[in-house]
């Protein structure tokens, strides 16, 4: 083998080594000034490499506040297929989630997102309605795939184990024991659909939807109000009490 070939192999190996171990904090220090305004909070620490790294940020997104840790691991071989694919993990005081995300020539999406959200994260939102609830949410294998601007596939389950729910009624506070609720995520005509059922009687409570153009909708059945302690006419629990749609973004 000629000396020139050894030099080429050495240079190539060196470049691959540099790329594989390139520090993520150097990349962040280069782009921080131009993207800091788009970050809803303050980035405190960036570590690891661009392929396998982490970031700690003090986020401020509405009622979501506090330190959040995010880790990522990029799959380099997917780049050969024209796709950026990575595993993600996000953790904070009231949230833990892990799964995957990708974007490429054939589409984009999230896959197998699993985790838990504690009741403390929902507390500020519920307080606005003079309400509170026990327990948190768990979600399993949430997957959403998009082809162009349309949602092509969606699946997964969101669960609330049930418990005591308190709300203001006039000058007093009412408390009811609500059964567990399960939401099933599906795709319907290019939109996301979340169908909710209560697990005690396996009956529908309503559903929520989100279209790719940012239009969201909620449908609530009388059964949800019955479980919340409000009176209803016998046999009328499948009556639609609320059915609204409005732009969300």
Quick one: which of 57, 52, 43, 92 has its CA closest to 71?
52
Distances (CA, A) of 48 to 19, 45, 54, 109, 155: 13, 10, 6, 25, 32
pTM: 0.80
Q: Is 105 helix (H, G, I), strand (E, B) or coil?
A: coil
- Identify the pLDDT of residue 54: 93
* 21-73 pLDDT, tens digit each: 677 888 788 878 777 777 788 888 999 988 899 999 988 877 677 888 999 99
Q: Is 204 helix (H, G, I), strand (E, B) or coil?
A: strand
Domain boundaries, the chain: 23-107, 118-249
* 158-199 pLDDT, tens digit each: 999 888 888 777 777 878 888 899 999 999 888 899 999 998
Quick one: which of 196, 131, 199, 119 has its CA closest to 165?
131
């Amino acid at each position: 083998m000629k000396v020139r070939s050894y030099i080429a192999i050495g240079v190539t190996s060196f470049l691959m080594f540099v790329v594989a171990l390139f520090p993520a904090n150097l990349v962040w220090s280069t782009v921080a000034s131009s993207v800091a305004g788009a970050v809803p909070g303050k980035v405190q620490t960036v570590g690891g490499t661009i392929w396998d790294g982490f970031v700690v940020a003090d986020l401020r997104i509405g009622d979501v506040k506090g330190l959040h840790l995010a880790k990522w691991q990029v799959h380099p071989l997917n780049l050969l297929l024209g796709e950026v694919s990575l595993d993600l993990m996000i953790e904070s005081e009231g949230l833990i989630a892990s799964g995957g995300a990708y974007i490429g020539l054939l589409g984009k999406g999230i896959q197998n997102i699993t985790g838990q959200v504690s009741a403390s994260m929902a507390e500020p939102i519920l307080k606005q309605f003079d309400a509170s609830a026990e327990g948190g949410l768990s979600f399993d294998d949430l997957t959403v795939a998009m082809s162009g601007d349309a949602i092509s596939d969606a699946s997964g389950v969101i669960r609330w184990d049930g418990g005591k729910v308190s709300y203001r009624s006039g000058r007093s506070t009412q408390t009811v024991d609500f059964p567990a609720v399960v939401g099933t995520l599906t795709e319907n005509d290019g939109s996301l659909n979340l169908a909710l059922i209560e697990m005690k009687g396996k009956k529908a409570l309503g559903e929520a939807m989100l279209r790719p153009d940012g239009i969201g909708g909620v449908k609530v059945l009388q059964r949800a109000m019955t479980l919340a302690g409000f009176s209803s006419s016998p046999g009328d629990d499948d009556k639609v009490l609320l059915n609204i749609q409005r732009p969300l973004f």
